[in-house]
Structure 1
Amino acid sequence: MTKYIAEIKPLNADKIGTAAHGQATFDLTADHLTIDITMHDTPANTQHWEHFHGFPTEKAAQVAGPAQDANGDGYIDLPETEPVSGTTMVPFNDDPAAMDIPNDKYPVADKNGDYHYTRVVSLADLTKKFKAAFNDTDLNLAQRVVYVHGVPDSVNLPATVAGAVGPYDAHVTLPIAAGKIIKVD
């Protein structure tokens, strides 16, 4: 088994009023990928999209920071993360291997802003979908970053915050925390 960890740190915290943080672990065997994510201080009673992002090349993804705020509005929105973090790749929802990103089947934080997510995913199923999407079967976890997204509709986002995905607006896609995945053994 190979283990990977991402220490997930707040992003956009000064704008959204919470400093979401936690940890993601990924245990990779020949047959399965076990994903375990624990988050704290996320916006309460809110669904949180979470994924790993990366590049479909050998380029290593990095966590976006203030330098990526291209329009200077004080928010790092989803499109602004792409130059350094790449694209959304694998969702951490009810069925990661389906790689169905825009849906309502992601974790919902409790009244304290906490949640725990665990899934055991068939590596054969996941790599088949990954190859269809990115022409590669190697997940390259050490080249990826984890993003957690989502603020309630009650958060007043300026019109400059972009990130609509299908019927989901920037409230759903705004990054609230992120962490670089590193191999630990």
Structure 2
Amino acid sequence: MATKFLAKINPLNADKIGTSAHGTAEFTIEGDVLDIKIEMFETPANTSHWEHFHGFPDGRDAAVATSAQDVNGDGFVDLPETEAVSGTTMVPFDNAPHEMNIPHDAYPTSDANGHFAYQQHVPLDELRAKFKAVFGTDDLDLDKRVVYIHGVPASLGLPATVAGAVGSYDAHTTLPIAVGKIEAIN
């Protein structure tokens, strides 16, 4: 029998980025496969969108960030500001989630209307092994995680106070644009 999870993804930073990104993320565990389906609407158009689940390695329940997390008062909730309530970036929704390689270019790109759909079948044993190597546990605890969608065009003016650079990727790549709590649905 399959175990299913759903996150309703709602806008974050919408008033600053000019779009209200929203959508859903579905997770189905059946046998040794994790099936991930994400569909997003009204994201910044023609933009690469990093997407991940975030959480706390110690198993605490992660929560979605809100404008209350804008601790420096610059009007943006950036990636570092989400960590207090959402934890750390854990598993990417890219071309190989089980490799848990975060900074690269193999994430979905939205179309001219700001839409994208993502689907991946992930070998659960490989994901759990990598997760254990990185976080010390092989329990994904999906119902204690949150999904973040990131990414705005490089042309969007961001104040110097917006942080979140990862490797050669700047805050335009990592700025959260939408977030949703993962919940068990069966």
- Scaled by the length of structure 2, what TM-score is found? 0.99
Aligned partner of 2:183 in structure 1 is 182
Q: CA deviation at 1:30?
A: 2.8
1:48 partnered with 2:49: yes
SS in 2 for 1:36: strand
* Percent of aligned pairs with the same amino acid: 62
Alignment of 1:50-129 (within 5 A): 50-129=51-130
Counterpart-to-counterpart distance in 2, 1:94 and 1:30: 21
1:168 partnered with 2:155: no
- Amino acid corresponding to residue 151 of structure 1 in structure 2: V
Counterpart-to-counterpart distance in 1, 2:67 and 2:115: 26
- Amino acid corresponding to residue 45 of structure 1 in structure 2: N
Aligned partner of 2:137 in structure 1 is 136
The answer for unaligned runs of 5 or more in structure 1 is: none
Aligned partner of 1:11 in structure 2 is 12
SS in 1 for 2:113: coil
Counterpart-to-counterpart distance in 2, 1:126 and 1:30: 13
Q: CA deviation at 1:151?
A: 0.1
Aligned residues: 185
1:92-117 deviations in Å (ceiling 9; x for gaps): 00000000000000000000000000
Q: CA deviation at 1:67?
A: 1.2
The answer for unaligned runs of 5 or more in structure 2 is: none
- Amino acid corresponding to residue 126 of structure 2 in structure 1: D
Counterpart-to-counterpart distance in 1, 2:68 and 2:152: 22
- Amino acid corresponding to residue 50 of structure 1 in structure 2: E
Aligned partner of 1:151 in structure 2 is 152
Q: Which runs of 4+ in 1 moved over 6 A?
A: none
Aligned partner of 1:39 in structure 2 is 40
- Amino acid corresponding to residue 72 of structure 1 in structure 2: G
